[in-house]
Amino acid sequence: LRAILKDGSLLETRAFIGGKWADADDGATFEVTNPARGDVLAKVADLTRVEVARAIAAAEGAQKDWARRTAKDRAGILRRWFDLMVENVDDLAAILTAEQGKPLPEARAEVLYGASFVEWFSEEARRVYGDTIPGHQPDKRITVLRQPIGVAASITPWNFPNAMIARKVAPALAAGCSFVARPATETPLSALAMAVLAERAGVPAGVLSIVPSTHASDIGKEFCENPVVRKLTFTGSTEVGRILLRQAADQVMKCSMELGGNAPFIVFDDADIDAAVEGAMVCKFRNNGQTCVCANRIYVQAGVYDAFAVKFEAAIKKLRVGDGLAEGTTTGPLISGKAVQKVQAHIKDALDKGAKLVVGGKPHDLGGTFFEPTLLTDVTPDMAVSQEETFGPMAPLFRFETEEEAVALANDTIFGLAAYFYARDVSRVTRVQEALEYGIVGVNTGIISTEVAPFGGVKQSGLGREGSKYGIEDFMEMKYVCLSV
Ligand code: ADP
């Protein structure tokens, strides 16, 4: 991997603690493999709770100075970090594809998407305003200050090794918090490369630490039990989110949770079918179906069901499965054997209960964790896919008759992250966007992620928002000052 990088020093395998690059105390390492080929890319420092506690202590030591700097100063450093991420996009993308598997163009897009949060929050850093409130008594003057929470910590997944971290670190640093990030075991190299650039950009020692570790639950406990950490921000499954929320309760710690989704994608009779097919393709198959906002349940109204299915099938057949580093690949491998099993289980369950296989359906001839992009029709609500995220390249088509039925089906889940629908009737568009119980609704589009808008879920999909003018709130406290004159 180092051989294809312009700047080999971005391939860092040590942990970054309190401004120093360090091995684990006991020298332990874990292997990072390339999911497309199965070969070992690097051996990365495998930290324990002890070293993570040290990173937290360093973060505490650095935080007050960082917060005391002017917002302009913090903004300038974040801006430099953004510039360096953009300058090094090719290398960051190559590292990301190698450890995660997504095609290089998607990896580039992710790096730029991650960087866009650093840019955005470099700007927002300077716009953290307080309030003055007319007093409730003649001698009272009321002001509201907004101050950084303190030390923040994150736990993130492998599906967006760069952007999930950038989305959390950027607002935290902008607000004046310091940060300890534990990247996913599958994809620590992107996080470490980001830290190399953060250091070059002038992020002071201790303000950002990266603590790779295979001991996920130990690190989660340290983050929740160490009284110095005042904020936990997590992206991952609802199941693990619940564990962390329970653990965080003991310290009444502030938490942001970006959890699972089960996104419905609804195509109404009055939709532009070609546009809907195009939207469904990116929404379902981006990152090989491994995003929490990927369409998981595709509901198509009876009148356009067959027409949609035919065009969707044709589009799916154009996907090219392969190594993400190879030219022309649209669809990489899945992250792991476990991920393949989940897709297979959902397909089997649906077929056993009467769904029809239109295309794909099995592991790809390339072997490893490559899987054929799959389309199923005649999928019904009793099948597992209607309640659980597949997180893979399987598109299930459900049929519905009425708008009310579609909305009821879409909302019939514990999740509430992203929903999508295609329709042209203005009244319908208005009714449906209001009726969907989701934090994010895409209307006539299959792509909704941007740094300028608030990303986050309702119901069991999470707490808090990332990006936009609201994202920085998750890292700030409000202090009301009552002055008697
Ligand atoms: P995914 O299926 O996307 O990996 P998970 O919720 O299982 O979703 O994992 C998300 C992140 O949370 C990963 O970095 C994982 O290592 C970490 N994790 C898993 N279990 C725990 C736990 N009990 N405490 C803290 N972190 C955990």
Could you give the 3-state DSSP secondary structure of residue 305? Answer: helix
Residue 98 confidence (pLDDT): 98
Please work out whether the CB of residue 402 comes within 6 Å of at least one atom of ligand 1. no
Residues in the chain: 485
Please work out whether the CB of residue 185 comes within 6 Å of at least one atom of ligand 1. yes
Please work out whether the CB of residue 245 comes within 6 Å of at least one atom of ligand 1. no
Residue 80 confidence (pLDDT): 98
- Angstrom distance (rounded) from CA 181 to CA 207: 11
Distance 266 CA to ligand 1 centre (A): 30
Closest Cα to atom 9 of ligand 1: 236
- Among 44, 240, 256, 390, the mutation site with the greatest number of ligand 1 atoms within 8 A of its Cβ is 240
Interface TM-score (ipTM) > 0.95: yes
Helix axes 71-87, 188-201, angle to 10 degrees: 130
Which atom of ligand 1 lies at the shortest distance from residue 220's CA?
25
What phi and psi values does residue 478 have, to the nearest 5 degrees? -105, 135
Distances (CA, A) of 100 to 87, 160, 167, 173: 21, 8, 18, 26
Please work out whether the CB of residue 336 comes within 6 Å of at least one atom of ligand 1. no
Distance 292 CA to ligand 1 centre (A): 14
Closest CA to 207 of 84, 107, 54, 58: 58
Please work out whether the CB of residue 161 comes within 6 Å of at least one atom of ligand 1. no
Query: Which active-site residues does the annotation give?
Result: 258
- Angstrom distance (rounded) from CA 467 to CA 170: 9
Positions in the chain whose pLDDT score sits under 70: none
∠ CA 231-467-264, rounded to 5°: 105
- Angstrom distance (rounded) from CA 352 to CA 149: 51
Distance 157 CA to ligand 1 centre (A): 7
- Angstrom distance (rounded) from CA 156 to CA 165: 7
Residue 376 · residue 397 · CB < 8 Å: yes
Contacts of 115 (CB under 8 A, 6+ apart): 82, 85, 86, 89, 166
Q: Backbone dihedral region of 124: left (phi > 0), alpha (psi from -120 to 50 degrees) or beta?
A: alpha
Could you give the 3-state DSSP secondary structure of residue 389? Answer: coil
Distance 306 CA to ligand 1 centre (A): 39
Closest CA to 128 of 82, 176, 65, 80: 176
> Which tokens hold the place of 181?
């990030």
Distances (CA, A) of 189 to 17, 44, 91, 245: 15, 8, 11, 27
Closest CA to 96 of 182, 190, 233: 190
Which atom of ligand 1 lies at the shortest distance from residue 241's CA?
6
In Å, how far from its chain's centre is CA 34? 20
Residue 47, CB half-sphere, CA atoms under 13 Å: how many? 29
Distance 446 CA to ligand 1 centre (A): 27
Could you give the 3-state DSSP secondary structure of residue 219? Answer: helix
Closest Cα to atom 24 of ligand 1: 217
Residue 54, CB half-sphere, CA atoms under 13 Å: how many? 18
Residue 302, CB half-sphere, CA atoms under 13 Å: how many? 5
Which atom of ligand 1 lies at the shortest distance from residue 184's CA?
14
Residue 115 confidence (pLDDT): 98
In Å, how far from its chain's centre is CA 364? 27
> Which tokens hold the place of 205?
């020692």
Please work out whether the CB of residue 243 comes within 6 Å of at least one atom of ligand 1. yes
Contacts of 229 (CB under 8 A, 6+ apart): 56, 150, 151, 152, 153, 180, 223, 251, 253
Residue 364 · residue 264 · CB < 8 Å: no
How many CB atoms within 10 Å of residue 484? 8
- Angstrom distance (rounded) from CA 169 to CA 77: 13
Residue 158 confidence (pLDDT): 98
Please work out whether the CB of residue 240 comes within 6 Å of at least one atom of ligand 1. yes
Distance 290 CA to ligand 1 centre (A): 15
> Which tokens hold the place of 22?
């360090």
Closest CA to 193 of 310, 295, 111, 134: 111
Task: Say which amino acid occupies 32.
Answer: V
Residue 209 confidence (pLDDT): 98
Bridge partners, residue 44, by sequence: 30
Which atom of ligand 1 lies at the shortest distance from residue 223's CA?
25
- Among 48, 155, 259, 334, the mutation site with the greatest number of ligand 1 atoms within 8 A of its Cβ is 155
Distance 235 CA to ligand 1 centre (A): 8
Residue 355 confidence (pLDDT): 98
- Angstrom distance (rounded) from CA 295 to CA 166: 24
Contacts of 32 (CB under 8 A, 6+ apart): 40, 41, 42, 43, 44, 99, 186, 187, 188, 189
Distance 246 CA to ligand 1 centre (A): 15
Please work out whether the CB of residue 392 comes within 6 Å of at least one atom of ligand 1. no
Please work out whether the CB of residue 261 comes within 6 Å of at least one atom of ligand 1. no
Closest Cα to atom 18 of ligand 1: 216
Closest CA to 194 of 206, 181, 205: 181
Please work out whether the CB of residue 217 comes within 6 Å of at least one atom of ligand 1. yes
Residue 344 confidence (pLDDT): 98
Residue 71 · residue 218 · CB < 8 Å: no
**Averaged pLDDT score across all residues of the chain:** 98
Closest CA to 233 of 139, 312, 168: 168
- Angstrom distance (rounded) from CA 223 to CA 53: 8
Specify the pTM: 0.97
- Angstrom distance (rounded) from CA 216 to CA 385: 28
Please work out whether the CB of residue 211 comes within 6 Å of at least one atom of ligand 1. no
